[in-house]
Amino acid sequence: MSEATDPWLIVGLGNPGPEYAANRHNVGFMVADLLAERIGGKFKRAQKAQAQVVEGRMGPPGPANRRVILAKPMSYMNLSGGPVTALRDFYKVPTDHIVAIHDELDIDYGMLRLKLGGGDNGHNGLKSMTKSMGSDYHRIRFGIGRPPGRMQVADFVLKDFSSTERKELGYLVDRAADSVECLLAEGLERAQSAYNS
């Protein structure tokens, strides 16, 4: 059972490299970057895993203030499980103190859903994480909607957000970052009622 003093591992899922930076599949990285900015940290290479990390504290002063490790696996999406498991073991993080932030096809653009556990819904990053360590981690599911017409899913997720989507993207990434802070400070039920749409 996890303790209140246990650290949290917040993982933004995405693909490394500038050519992927603005892709729909990289929205997890975007949220992780904003959270790092909020806690005043800069990502640097992890010692024990193929990932970039920032260590710090999140939340209001007092008992709700949490020790956090923000991470961006540098392994490509479909191999995320290896780096996340290495970080979990190195920092001694209980699995239910891990939060994966990822794009979600089955939710309309900009909608959020928070949950603990469950299936991977065909998401390769989650599939890899679940294979490595089971499914009992939190997910922040950031809706990107379904591809238009006959576009293949793989092409859609590896495309940048459209110009219309980009108008709202900053606000939506901000809201997703707020939901992570709420989850850590106030728990899953409170965060779900505030942010699930």
Supply the residues annotated as catalytic. Answer: 25
Q: Hey, what are 89's tokens? A: 């073991």
- The tally of CA atoms less than 13 A away on the side-chain side of residue 19 is 2
Angle, vertex CA 54, rays to CA 43 and CA 14, nearest 5: 60
Tokens, residue 38: 């909020």
**Structure-token pair, residue 13:** 């899922």
167's tokens: 């108008």
Are the beta carbons of 165 and 27 closer than 8 angstroms? Answer: no
Which token pair is 97?
């103190």
